[in-house]
């Protein structure tokens, strides 16, 4: 059952998550000051990227997406020519089930068992809230910061990790890193030539921008590419949180 936390505990939790975003920001800001960005060479032609995987996600609310799209319009004016996520592609990763890899076909052999486990774990899980506030960046792009306002998202992630471990599938999750945040990927660098100082100034102005609170009562299990591109994504299962 989802527990709504006392305000002082929520602040501490939010500050804990903020440390993740702040570290990303400090690293990215230093790189941007030097005029450096990590370019994704696949993005000019995503069809050449062979990586595929299965991810449990949720989609932000329409109100949150409206504000993100408006922000991206301003960001694109400052940093044109890069890769901007489309509205229908924006998502938050709950957990990566089959990590994006060129070997995804081999991993899919265990998928049906994973699907059943996920359904069992999510049965009876409660909705949760996420506050989307401010932006951060990594060397490869820009993200919208998300702060869980209760323990629902963390509880779902831990329950999934425990279930996979009991089934002997613990090696499947968190291969790249342990997912703890709730960010929305918004932009990725796909070509050189961006005015990094202008970009950095704009992002600094947007560090506390309010995108709104999202009530999450539905999760989706999707198969697709690294970018959750509309052209590749297939919804494998949907789960209602009640």
Give the start-to-end residue ranges of the domains of the chain: 7-240
Which 3 state secondary structure label does DSSP give 223? strand
The CATH homologous superfamily of the domain defined by 7-240: Cyclic phosphodiesterase (3.90.1140.10)
Q: What is the pLDDT of residue 194?
A: 95
CA 134 and chain centroid, separation: 14
DSSP 8-state class, residue 172: G
Report the predicted TM-score, pTM, of the whole model to 2 decimal places: 0.89
Residue 215 to residue 108: CA distance in whole angstroms:
31
Q: Please give the pLDDT value at position 15.
A: 45
What's residue 174's pLDDT?
62
Average pLDDT, consecutive stretches of 10 residues, N- to C-terminus, the chain (242 residues): 39 55 95 96 91 96 98 98 97 92 81 92 95 97 96 95 87 67 96 96 97 98 95 96 94
Contacts of 110 (CB under 8 A, 6+ apart): 169, 172
DSSP state of 6: P
Residue showing tokens 């709950």: 94
What's phi and psi for 161, nearest 5 deg?
A: -60, -40
* Of 187, 229, 199, 197, nearest in space to 39 by CA: 187
Crossing angle (nearest 10°) for helices 196-205 and 62-78: 150
Predicted pLDDT at 124:
84
Whole-angstrom distance, CA of residue 11 vs CA of residue 136: 19
Task: Indicate if the alpha-carbon torsion angle 21, 23, 28, 30 is positive or negative.
Answer: positive
Smallest CA-to-CA distance from 101 within 54, 164, 56 is with 54
Determine the Cα–Cα distance for residues 104 and 115; give it in Å rounded to an integer: 15
Predicted pLDDT at 181: 87
pLDDT of residue 175: 55
Distance CA 220, CA 238 (A): 5
């Amino acid at each position: 059952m989802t527990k709504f936390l006392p305000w002082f505990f929520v602040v501490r939790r939010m500050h804990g998550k903020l440390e993740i975003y702040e570290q990303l920001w400090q690293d990215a800001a230093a790189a941007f000051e030097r005029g450096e960005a990590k370019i994704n060479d696949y993005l000019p032609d995503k069809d050449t990227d062979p990586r595929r995987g299965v991810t449990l996600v949720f989609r932000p609310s329409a109100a949150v997406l409206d504000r993100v799209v408006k922000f991206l319009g301003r960001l694109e004016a400052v940093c044109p020519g890069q890769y901007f996520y489309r509205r229908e592609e924006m998502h938050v990763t709950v957990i990566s089930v089959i990590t994006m890899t060129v070997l995804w076909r081999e991993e899919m052999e265990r998928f049906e068992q994973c699907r059943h486990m996920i359904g069992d774990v999510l049965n009876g899980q409660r909705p949760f809230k996420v506050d989307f506030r401010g932006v951060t960046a990594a060397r490869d792009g820009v993200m919208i910061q998300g702060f869980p306002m209760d323990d629902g998202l963390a509880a779902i992630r831990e329950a999934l990790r425990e279930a996979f471990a009991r089934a002997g599938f613990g090696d499947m999750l968190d291969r790249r890193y342990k997912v703890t945040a709730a960010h929305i990927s918004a932009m990725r660098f796909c070509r050189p030539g961006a005015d990094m100082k202008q970009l950095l100034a704009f992002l600094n102005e947007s560090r506390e921008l309010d995108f709104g609170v999202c009530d999450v009562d539905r999760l989706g299990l999707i198969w697709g590419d690294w970018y959750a591109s509309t052209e590749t994504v297939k919804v494998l299962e949907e789960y209602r949180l009640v």
